[in-house]
Structure 1
Amino acid sequence: MKTLLIALFVLMVSGGVWGQVDSLLVESEQKIIKTDKNIDNLKEEIALLNQEVSNGRQNDSEQIRSLQVRMSKMEDLQNEIERRELEVYTYNYQAAVLQLIKLNSLLNNLDLYEKTKSFYEDINKIGNPLNDPKYESWKQRFNEYISAKKNQHPTLNVLQNFIHKDSSTIGMLINNIPYMNVLSEGISLFTQNYKKDKRIYKESSEILMLNVKLSSFNKEIEMINNSEALKVAIENYTGIYNAVLDENIERLGESKGRFTKPLYSAMEESEYMNTLKLKAAQYVENKRNDNIRNWKTEINTLLNSVQKINVDFAELALKVTNDLKAYQNIINKYKQDLDFKGRFNDAERSLENIISGFEKNFPINNKIDYSLYLTP
């Protein structure tokens, strides 16, 4: 009868630390494969001995000899099963420890929040209508109109709150939907007031149309995500990751400073990860020797915690990846509009910087794979 032992998720990413980890686990995997073959061979031998004993063709002495050999083979089989169990747990815990190195490398290299923070700032500039050059030649008359008519209309009174102290320019308008609607209504009132002045009416109509487009743009941006939500998600994940990391390096007798130190050369990287692999194997063996009955319980807990943060990171990275694609689609949609000409230059550069970082450290087409072994 076969029962599931453990399935440890491993993010399969080419290059750097990622490829190195996979090669370090080959030796441990080969041990499991070899033991598997030994187990299969012993089972076949035992089955043949059972057949010889049960077919009634052996005399008493031959049967006794067959039973003795069978008992010896059964002992060998049990030893191999226990060996395989230790090898499987060793392999999985080695993979878990090395996975923590992978995640640490990704968290440092991707620098998710700082890179996306710059992008959000650029996106907010696009969505703020007051950053458009068209406002420069028009806004003084608009400001004067607001000051003169603010007591006659509540919308204008609200807009007055966004005028700078010197009353020369409108202050930074929060580019969310309610305030954009207020601004649009104020521009509409202003446009109607200057119907007879064709120049002002034309400028105001164009700016009103621009404001409508920006409102639509901001709505689409808000539907994706916001920088504060991403910041909280990354901070929460980092806190959980550090807790899991602390728990494991304490058991390995490893220094956190050493564990999180950047590895600058392939040789240094290989040597350190090989050291961690040996420490992980020794930890599992010591646990089994110290508590032969329940040694697997603590190992399972450690494996499950690493598995969880591994999957959580994949989900976080996938969420960011999908958001980046959505932002890219929105930019491609609006940058063709002449009213948005040149407005997306900074945002596109920021977005390209983030995407290139993802493609280098966490490929967009990355798949989550996992190593799975079954115990006899």
Structure 2
Amino acid sequence: MKKNIYFLFFLGLFLPLISFSQTLDENKSVSELVLYQLNKERSLLKENVDNRIKLMDAKITNLDESIRNTSSSTEKVDKLIERVQILEEKQQELDKNVVSVYKYNFSSAVLNLASMEREIKPLNLFNSSRDFYTTLDKVSNPMNYEGYAAWFKEFEKYIEENKKDEARLDALSHIIQVTGNLAEGTPFTGMFAGSLFDGIGSFVNSLGRRDKDLREKSMKMFKLTTSVSQFTHDKDLIETEWNAIAKSLDELKALQEKSMNENIVNILGINKNEFKKRFTDETDAKKRTQYILDISKIAEDKIVEERSKNAENWKQDFYNQMVTVQNLKIRFGTLTFRILENLDKYKLLITKYKEDEYLKDKVGQLDLKLSLVRNSFESTFNPQDYIKASNEMYIVE
């Protein structure tokens, strides 16, 4: 049951409704618009800076020529002073370009961080994913197979009639009472499966020639029970990974929230509730776009402020935060890879049992439903897109 909860948690978190898929598309659209606008501003500023620097370099060249050719000490001093002033102006222009690059990169970090919050929030299930998991449960429960429930009543009658003389049957009777209604999905695995196999074996061996039909049916149900039990065991091995995935996701959410506090609240001084209202929960893509552009201006002012206070080391804190966000993005992409890999294990499970005499009909129903789940997930959370985006988050000058 615990594994089922983890699996459902994963599905609820990562297999979105179509409306959420549209939300992710809007997120990408917002990101593209913001980064396009920021890059446009940066490119225009860089072009202007480059032009001004070319003019300054030309002036410096002319001044150097004049200094070499003049014999007047006063004129040399004046031209040297002018040269120093131009060099200072040139450095200011170069600094503008550096600030512009950091504005773009830090804004990209904040944007990716904020978008990640929207992407890892709990989601509802796709109808297809619910359908897939429901069918998976049906395969694992022998009570869903034709004739099994009626036969099991005959088997239970045998248990009750003979448990006083057979300790193993008495123990099996106890387990059945403890587990309650088997039709509700008690896993036919572990200790319960072992006791069940012993009990069914005793039941089959107790049937004589006069019970030929019941014996044949019991052998069929015995084989069905073993197939279901092994299928459930193999399925549980896959579902154990959802536990680790859920833990990794919790860790990622905690790190993302910590980074949000450090960047949005501590560095930029933005109220977290205000940010949540105007970006995380905002449904209008245009408003989200404008809000992030407004934040980029705050980021620019903050960068200029930090540079003026600490001219030598002002870049380090911003750089550290950008690396942290990039690592979170990579980690998110890696997590989606793990999810796809685990989904692919179900494909191997289906292939393994699709020819089983007793399970093939129900297992066959899983194939298409699994494809719907996988394709929906991959089209919405493409791991390669996340990894690629994380490597292209920043510009380098």
Q: Is the 8 A contact 1:126 1:344 kept in 2?
A: yes
- Deviation of residue 161 (structure 1)? 2.4
- 1:97 alignment partner in structure 2: 110
Shift of 1:99: 1.0
Q: Mean alpha-carbon deviation: is it higher for 232-241 or for 350-359?
A: 350-359
Kindly state the Cα deviation for residue 279 of structure 1 after the two structures are TM-superposed. 2.9
Query: Aligned match of 2:186 in 161, 165, 173?
Result: 173
Structure number with the higher helix fraction is 2
User: What SS is found at the alignment partner of 2:147?
Assistant: helix
Which residue of structure 2 aligns with residue 225 of structure 1? 239
The corresponding residue for 1:247 is 262
Q: What is the CA-CA distance between 1:352 and the residue it aligns to?
A: 5.8
Structure 2 CA distance for aligned equivalents of residues 113 and 288 of structure 1: 49
| Structure 1, 26-35 or 194-203: larger mean CA deviation | 26-35
What letter is aligned with 2:108?
A: A
| Alignment partners' CA distance in 2, 1:113 and 1:248 | 34
Q: Say if 1:274 and 1:323 are closer, same or farther in 2 by CA, change over 3 A.
A: same
CA shift, 1:124, in A, is 3.7
- Hey, what does 2:305 align to over in structure 1? 286
Change (3 A) 1:70 1:212: farther
Please give the alpha-carbon distance, in whole angstroms, between the structure 2 residues aligned to 1:297 and 1:166: 60
CA contact (8 A) 2:333 2:384 kept: no
CA contact (8 A) 1:331 1:344 kept: yes
Matched, 1:213 2:230: no
Coordinate RMSD, CA, aligned: 4.4
SS at match of 2:238: coil
TM-score (norm 1): 0.74
> Aligned residues: percent identity?
21
Native 8 Å contact 1:35 1:80 kept in 2 = no
Q: Partner of 2:393 in structure 1?
A: 371
User: Which residue of the partner structure matches residue 346 of structure 2?
Assistant: 327
Change (3 A) 1:333 1:277: farther
**Counterparts of 2:278 and 2:165 in 1: how far apart (Å)?**
67
Equivalent residue number for residue 7 of structure 1: none
Aligned to 1:22: 32
Contact 2:333 2:386 in 1 (8 A): no
How many residue pairs were aligned? 359
Distance in 1 between the 2:312 and 2:183 partners? 74
Among residues 182, 198, 206, which one is paired with 2:195 in the alignment?
182
Would the alpha carbon gap of residues 324 and 373 (structure 1) be closer, same or farther in structure 2, given more than 3 Å must change?
same
The structure whose residues are more often strand, as a share, is 1
Per-residue CA deviations over 1:31-60 (Å, capped at 9, x if unaligned) read: 5556767669969x979x99xx9xxxx767
Q: Decide which moves more: 24-33 or 136-145.
A: 24-33
Match of 2:314 in 1: 295
Distance change (3 Å), C-alpha of 1:299 and 1:66: same
In 1: Cα distance, 2:223 partner to 2:86 partner: 86
Which amino acid is the alignment partner of residue 101 of structure 2? V
Looking at structure 1, the residues matched to 293 and 228 of structure 2 have their Cα atoms a distance apart, in angstroms, of 55
CA distance in 2, matches of 1:70, 1:16: 52
Q: Distance in 2 between matches of 1:67 and 1:169?
A: 95
Per the alignment, do residues 167 and 294 of structure 1 end up closer, same or farther by CA in structure 2, a change over 3 Å counting?
closer
Q: Of the candidates 122, 134, 149, which is equivalent to residue 147 of structure 2?
A: 134
Query: What is the rounded CA distance, in whole Å, between the counterparts of 1:366 and 1:318 in structure 2?
Result: 11
Mapped to 2, the partners of 1:218 and 1:168 lie a distance apart of 18
Give the superposition deviation at 1:191: 2.0
Show the 5 A alignment for 1:119-158. Answer: 123-150=136-163, 155-158=168-171
- How many angstroms apart in 1 are the aligned matches of 2:181 and 2:24? 56
- Match among 235, 241, 244 for residue 250 of structure 2: 235
Classify 1:229/1:364 alpha carbon distance in 2 versus 1 (closer, same or farther; 3 Å).
Answer: closer
**Structure 2: gaps of 5 or more residues:** 1-22
Task: Pick which of 314-323 and 110-119 moved more.
Answer: 110-119
User: What is the distance in 1 between the residues matched to 2:97 and 2:155?
Assistant: 80
